Amino acid sequence: MSNSKEFSPGEIYEPSEETRKYAWVNNERIYEMAQDYLTFWDEVAKNDVEWFEPYEDVLDDSNAPFYRWFVGGKINITHNCLDRHIKLKGDKTAIIWQGEPENEKEKITYHELYQRVCRFANALRTLGVEEEEDVVTIYMGMVPELPIAMLACARIGAIHSVVFGGFSSKALRDRINDAESKVVVTMDGYYRRGKVVETKRIVDEALENAPSVESVVVLERTGNDVNMVEGRDVWWHELEEGLPDKCECRPLDSEHTLFILYTSGTTGKPKGVLHVHGGYNVGTHITTKWVFDLKDRDIFWCTADIGWITGHSYVVYGPLSVGATVLMYEGAPDHPQPDRWWSIIEQYGVTILYTAPTAIRYFMKLGEEWPKKHDLSSLRLLGTVGETIDPKAWKWYYKHIGNERCPIVDTWWQTETGMIMITPLPGITKLKPGSATLPFPGIEVDIRDEKGYSADSGELVITNPWPAMFRTLWGEPERFAKQYWRSNGGLIYYTGDGARKDENGYYWIIGRIDEVLKVSGHRLGSAEIEGALISHEAVSEAAVVGKPHEIKGETPVAFVVLKTGYEPSVELEEDLKKHVRNEIGAIAVPEGIYFVEQLPKTRSGKIMRRILLAIEKGEEVGDITTLEDVTVVEKIKEVMMARK
């Protein structure tokens, strides 16, 4: 452990006696004990999850970076999420669901969840979903049937691909086609800010050009009119009619694919990050238990949408594997009033809240009078994820939500890592606002400079494999092997995040160093938004940068070169925004679009986004000698001055 120096007094928040005493992990020696990481993960895998057949080896690294964990073992994550619990606590609530309309709610026990998953698994089988490589795309709002559909796929060894409900029909279509999905599971609609989002209509548009899809299962939720295509579309409740609520849990190989989840990178095409049953179960289970110090009586609320990795790992698989009660809320945080979240916490006695800094900044702006209206004393632990939390927001969260009683776990991880990687452990870690603190036991991280040497600041890397790591990119093994891994006395995983390490060995994440944006905690690629803009008839070239934003963290801003024959106008700007909304979704729409004559490019033709960002922020542009045409900087500045 690198806790070399004494902590300097000041901004340190120590675990309370109470937290330390009762926490799952209350001995700092855990880090030392986990230094032999294979023994550590072996212990966790044996003690914390159940296997149908034991594994022979903890890790096979003979074909790195295509690592295999718990080699030869047989497992099924749904056994650990369901079957295992119903023996002892079948009547315990697994999911508390709160719809956006206040009177719509539901509590589902572990036993009921088990039955509903089994029944839907049987339903999927009637559609021919069975084989190992079958991908079921799930496009739904936050309703219990979403995790039910995921678990049903996993139970029969099919692969799910959940697409965030905020993505457009075009984005959905691309993901369906890339995965060659046979079945789509969706719903008529769900509520968002009092309005119905017409999910099925979006699916219909997506399927206009998605030849692999044979069946669409439609859950009835809002009762809005939908168009059912004969021979293709079937209602969820009709499909399930008469089917048994038992379904054998298929023992699967540890390395059997559990899901793919598309995420953004530096190219226009989203990557299908692939996770497997065994290692992902082990990694999400133990991090849920230790990082959130989850106990049987807790009510755990992770506010992430299940369409993102945080929802996969910490709404669905981790907490259910641990046997927790999770809360799911369908709607907007501020509907019908800005205190909706706080009223939910009070109503259900939520004990652990896990959310994103963007939400905290938003509530901070609305003012503490909203949380003050509610009794939040049930809370005992808070968490954040998705982007760096600035100390001001951290302290606001600590004071106004946690009442200066609740530790905050600032957790750093990624879609690719599958599980939390850098985080405090609430019983032992001294907190510093703004730092994700230390790697989870068994995880080794470092910071490397451009030459690959260890440094105090540079790119964050992970130097040993971990169980919940992604195994490949769907259909793109070369991209997987080439893009993330570098060999430097062993294979090292490059995260794409800039970070620094302080005198206590604490990590401070600075943000992405590649062309990936975090907009309200959501991950988007510059190249994707640029691709969407270029697909518009008027656009010849486009560059997108992330501009700092008070609440969203970052917001996309676009620089566009028009084709000859097109003139800049307010109407065209609006039309381009609409186009991006249709191509990707509302989250990707640029806040501003600047029409420029030329983009700053190097002589080899690479767009220098760094320069655009500096101009946008009103900062010095720095070295521009590598530009093909240096006058472009002044010209772009003029365009921007004229607009401001």
| DSSP β-ladder status, 325-329 and 93-98 | parallel
Tokens at 354, concatenated: 């896990």
| Distance in angstroms (rounded) separating the CA atoms of residues 352 and 75 | 29
CB of 281 to ligand WTA, least distance (A): 18
| 432-461 binders of ligand WTA (CB under 6 A) | 436
The piece of 20-28, 156-164, 249-257, 510-518 that touches ligand WTA (CB under 6 A) is 510-518
Residue list, annotated binding site for CoA: 192-195, 310, 520, 581
Strand residues in 32-109 grouped as ranges (E): 57-60, 68-71, 74-75, 93-98, 105-109
**236 or 474: whose CB is closer to ligand WTA?**
474
Residue list, annotated binding site for Mg(2+): 536, 539
Contact between 298 and 325 under an 8 Å Cβ cutoff? The reply is: yes
CB of 412 to ligand WTA, least distance (A): 4
Q: Could you say whether residue 523 binds ligand WTA (CB under 6 A)?
A: yes
Q: Could you say whether residue 412 binds ligand WTA (CB under 6 A)?
A: yes
The piece of 281-289, 382-390, 471-479, 526-534 that touches ligand WTA (CB under 6 A) is 382-390
Sign of CA dihedral 588, 581, 171, 583: negative
Q: Is 261 helix (H, G, I), strand (E, B) or coil?
A: strand
The piece of 182-190, 364-372, 412-420, 527-535 that touches ligand WTA (CB under 6 A) is 412-420
Contact pattern from residue 251 through residue 290 relative to ligand WTA, giving x for each residue in contact according to CB under 6 A and a dash for the rest? ------------x---------------------------
Partner residues linked to 13 by β-bridges: 431
Tokens at 45, concatenated: 């895998």
The piece of 33-41, 291-299, 302-310, 532-540 that touches ligand WTA (CB under 6 A) is 302-310
Q: Could you say whether residue 310 binds ligand WTA (CB under 6 A)?
A: yes
Strand residues in 99-158 grouped as ranges (E): 105-109, 135-138
CB of 411 to ligand WTA, least distance (A): 5
Q: Could you say whether residue 497 binds ligand WTA (CB under 6 A)?
A: yes
The neighbour count for residue 237, using CB atoms within 10 Å, is 11
**257 or 263: whose CB is closer to ligand WTA?**
263
| Distance in angstroms (rounded) separating the CA atoms of residues 225 and 208 | 19
CB of 550 to ligand WTA, least distance (A): 17
Residue of the chain from 388, 429, 437, 526 that contacts ligand WTA (CB under 6 A): 388
Residues binding ligand WTA: number (CB under 6 A):
23
Among 642, 640, 534, residue whose Cα is nearest residue 584: 534
Phi, psi (rounded to 5 degrees) for 202: -65, -40
Q: Could you say whether residue 414 binds ligand WTA (CB under 6 A)?
A: yes
| Distance in angstroms (rounded) separating the CA atoms of residues 186 and 235 | 10
Q: Could you say whether residue 124 binds ligand WTA (CB under 6 A)?
A: no
Q: In terms of C-beta density within 10 A (0-12 exposed, 13-18 middle, 19 or more buried), how is residue 490 classed?
A: exposed
Q: Could you say whether residue 407 binds ligand WTA (CB under 6 A)?
A: no
Residue of the chain from 146, 203, 327, 509 that contacts ligand WTA (CB under 6 A): 509
The neighbour count for residue 172, using CB atoms within 10 Å, is 25
**362 or 508: whose CB is closer to ligand WTA?**
508
CB of 177 to ligand WTA, least distance (A): 22
DSSP 194: T
Partner residues linked to 487 by β-bridges: 491
Rounded (10°) angle between helices 570-583 and 169-179:
30
Site for ligand WTA, rule CB under 6 A: 263, 308-310, 385-388, 410-415, 436, 495-497, 509, 511-512, 518, 523
